[in-house]
Amino acid sequence: MSPLSDKLILSDTDLDAQIRHFTGRLDNYPRSERRDILRALHWSRKLHEGQQRASGEPYIIHPLRTAEILIDFRMDPATIKGALLHDVLEDTEVDRSELVEKFGEDVATLVDGVTKIDDMDVGKSARKAASLRKMVWAMVEDLRVIFIKLADKRHNMNTLQYITEDERRLRIARECLEIYAPMAGKLGMSSLKSELEDLSLKYLKPETYAQIKEHIALKKAERGHYLEKIQGNLLQAANQSRMRIEVATRAKHFYSIYRKMKDKGKDLEEIYDLLGVRVLCDTPEACYVMLGVVHRLWVPLEGRFKDYIASPKGNGYQSLHTTVLTEGGRPLEIQIRSRTMHETAEFGIAAHWAYKEGKSPDQIHPRQVAVVKQLQTLRDEGHDDDAGEFLDAIKRDVLRDSIIVYTPKGDPIELPEGSTAIDLAYSIHSEIGEHCLGAKANGAIIPLTRPLENTQTVQILTSPNAHPHVNWLKHVRSARARGKIRAWLNSHDANVLIDRNIVARQKPSVPQEEPSPPPETNESSSSKLETQVLDQEKVGITIGEERNMMIKISQCCAPVPGDRIIGYVSRGRGIVVHKENCPNLKGIEDFDERRIQVDWETASSRTTQRFRIHSRYTHDLFSEIEAAIRKFHGHLISGSLDETERGDLEGFFTVEMESRDDFKKISKSIRAIPTVLSISKVQNFQNRYYG
């Protein structure tokens, strides 16, 4: 994108000046450690000599910047050295044994862990999932690996303009927004998460990014005067209450403003709470006192108060959030937290490697290692067989919003938002899951299938006679619970076969003769851009003497979740599933004898609707449609996008909702997407309730 003349060309003098600046930032480390860090820097510089970045900079600038980011996070010396050397195994002739000899096993392990993590290509899901799996395995062994990778990604995103291929630049930005920014958030590194989100937005939505940037710049002088007055009012009120506080004011991050625009369906001019104020107090008790001071100064907005001190987020984040109406009815969000809480909010788990404080990773709060336990569970469950399934599990179990519930002993357990007591039972132990009978939340009996709430204390009730039911699959949210339930049913219930998100009931009797397979139409000649079907996991099944059978989705009618379906048993091909109205069914001999009842595994009492969209070409339409559906509590079951011969996009989506009326809201939300030209229901799709 940028011409060659825009690239940065540094002289040796410039580079030496930057290295001297880096050296000055090492003052917090003991002299012996400083010497070792600088030895790693100069060795890395020598190894990368002659190599250049796409920006035209000497390559050493990249590891230098990566290390500087980690110095800002006050990481330990081994991590700083690992950052300076993180590319030497991949890009130079050095091998691991030489690295161990010069800098020890600890640094070599960190460098080796980062080297194994390839950059993911969003357009190639198998490679992306495999790379993500390597990253998770390395993280489980040592979290500092992901700290280095996140810092590496932060600097790469800051120089993304030098990558000339538009498609590659967009893929990298999407990968950052989908994987790395959420991972930083899960680790509690909120400042890094916000930076990665803003940099992703810059390339994924350049016009929106420029609009927000210009809007904030135009209001800079007015904003400065306004925030200065707010800061003075807070300091004066705190002083009168004999409280010692610090006040920081800021414009909100661009991505958070963008999300407000999308979630509320408003233009930038209609978003008024673009500013934020943070108040730091000495103690948690002082935070609540300061909250009262704030509410005496300005009227709080109803429904806009959140207490994350009493109910911390899953990553350990604690703060009080309140939105108040200041002069002229101007809304302003104020965050109140202690200084210790602020360190956790900014640095997350990384704060526990802060060298000057002498902390150890063993001292990390249990809330903050919840994400590590989730990753360990995924590793131990053996998802190596299917990289795509592993990617889905990471997105569903780790990167999505979560809740924290407690066992009766007070142990915190992090679960995906919407999880039930069944998910909790399986997260404790598969035996408890298989024999769970009921649950108590805060001492009161609740249904096993009711979604749990954040901070509840939940007791699982078990019975040796209890066992999993197919119905449980409609209510669980975690990959572990779903996989364990499916495995148990396939092993213990001969009348239920589960595969490819389909439940086949009744043990069929298989005739000896095999009919000719029905004719199947060819795939569309248009270029398939994106197809996603949620919860499509694969489990081997057994029918009679035939083992490891799989359910096959017929390509002639290609049913997706939400379609009415019917199946028949075909020797050698397993159970073949068609739409109920597929015309090819008439050509199958002995169909009535071979038919078998099949249902979608995810069927529920909610209603579903399939619809078609027509849109101008854009790179992130799928995610925008998913966000529009989620805004009204819908659930995207499946979707596909094709590029037409005219260069537009045509897509078919199936959405699950609480009621039929919700589709009107969802349809209106999708129409508000700027590139969408039309949306219509698929007329031959029978909208109905499952159950």
256: domain range? 213-349
Please indicate, yes or no, whether residues 100 and 223 belong to a single structural domain of this protein: no
Please indicate, yes or no, whether residues 322 and 262 belong to a single structural domain of this protein: yes
Q: Which residue would you say has higher pLDDT here, 367 or 2?
A: 367
Residues above pLDDT 70, as percent of the chain? 78
Question: What's residue 129's pLDDT?
Answer: 60
Please indicate, yes or no, whether residues 42 and 93 belong to a single structural domain of this protein: yes
**Given a cut of 80, is residue 678 above it in pLDDT?**
yes
pLDDT of 209-246, one tens digit each? 999 988 888 777 788 888 899 999 999 999 999 999 99
The reply to whether 482 falls in a domain is no
272 pLDDT band, cuts 50/70/90, is confident
**Given a cut of 50, is residue 528 above it in pLDDT?**
no
Please indicate, yes or no, whether residues 595 and 633 belong to a single structural domain of this protein: no
Q: What is the CATH number of the domain that holds 30?
A: 1.10.3210.10
CB atoms within 10 A of CB 49: 11
**Given a cut of 60, is residue 492 above it in pLDDT?**
yes
DSSP annotation string for 226-285? HHHHHHHHHHHHHHHTT---EEEEEEPPHHHHHHHHHHHT--GGG----EEEEEEESSHH
Question: What's residue 426's pLDDT?
Answer: 93
Q: What is the C-alpha to C-alpha distance for residues 613 and 75, in angstroms, rounded to an integer?
A: 49
Please indicate, yes or no, whether residues 267 and 299 belong to a single structural domain of this protein: yes
pLDDT of 25-55, one tens digit each? 998 888 989 999 999 999 999 999 999 988 8
Please indicate, yes or no, whether residues 116 and 258 belong to a single structural domain of this protein: no
Where among 349, 370, 396 does a domain terminate?
349
The reply to whether 464 falls in a domain is no
The reply to whether 688 falls in a domain is no
Question: What's residue 282's pLDDT?
Answer: 94
Q: What is the C-alpha to C-alpha distance for residues 460 and 411, in angstroms, rounded to an integer?
A: 14
Please indicate, yes or no, whether residues 321 and 229 belong to a single structural domain of this protein: yes
Q: By three-state DSSP, how is residue 287 classified?
A: helix
The reply to whether 200 falls in a domain is yes
Q: Which residue would you say has higher pLDDT here, 548 or 345?
A: 345
- Cα-Cα-Cα-Cα torsion 523, 529, 534, 538, nearest 10 degrees, comes to 50
Please indicate, yes or no, whether residues 263 and 327 belong to a single structural domain of this protein: yes
Please indicate, yes or no, whether residues 124 and 228 belong to a single structural domain of this protein: no
Of 59-73, 78-92, 451-465, which gets the smallest average pLDDT?
Answer: 451-465
Of 110-119, 447-456, 508-517, 578-587, which gets the smallest average pLDDT?
Answer: 508-517
Please indicate, yes or no, whether residues 654 and 596 belong to a single structural domain of this protein: no
Candidates 189, 247, 198; CA nearest to 73 is 189
**Given a cut of 50, is residue 101 above it in pLDDT?**
yes
Region of 683 on the Ramachandran plot (φ > 0 left; ψ -120 to 50 alpha; else beta): alpha
Average pLDDT in the chain: 79
Phi, psi of 80 (to 5 degrees): -65, -45
Q: What is the CATH number of the domain that holds 634?
A: 3.30.70.260
Please indicate, yes or no, whether residues 271 and 158 belong to a single structural domain of this protein: no
Alpha helix ranges (H) inside 455-574 = 479-492
Where among 319, 349, 379 does a domain terminate?
349
Q: What is the C-alpha to C-alpha distance for residues 33 and 78, in angstroms, rounded to an integer?
A: 9
**Given a cut of 60, is residue 185 above it in pLDDT?**
yes
Q: Give how far Cα 585 sits from Cα of 295, 341, 570, Å.
A: 68, 63, 13
The reply to whether 515 falls in a domain is yes
| pTM listed for this prediction | 0.64
Question: What's residue 67's pLDDT?
Answer: 96
Mean pLDDT of 627-656: 78
Where among 152, 181, 205 does a domain terminate?
205
pLDDT of 297-342, one tens digit each? 999 988 889 999 988 877 778 999 999 999 878 889 999 999 999 9
Q: How far is CA 639 from the centre of its chain?
A: 19
The reply to whether 595 falls in a domain is yes
Strands of 320-326's sheet in order across: 246-251, 275-281, 330-338, 320-326, 299-307
The reply to whether 85 falls in a domain is yes
The structural domain count of the chain equals 4
Please indicate, yes or no, whether residues 594 and 636 belong to a single structural domain of this protein: no
The reply to whether 399 falls in a domain is no
Q: What is the CATH number of the domain that holds 280?
A: 3.30.460.10
Give the catalytic positions in this structure: 90-91
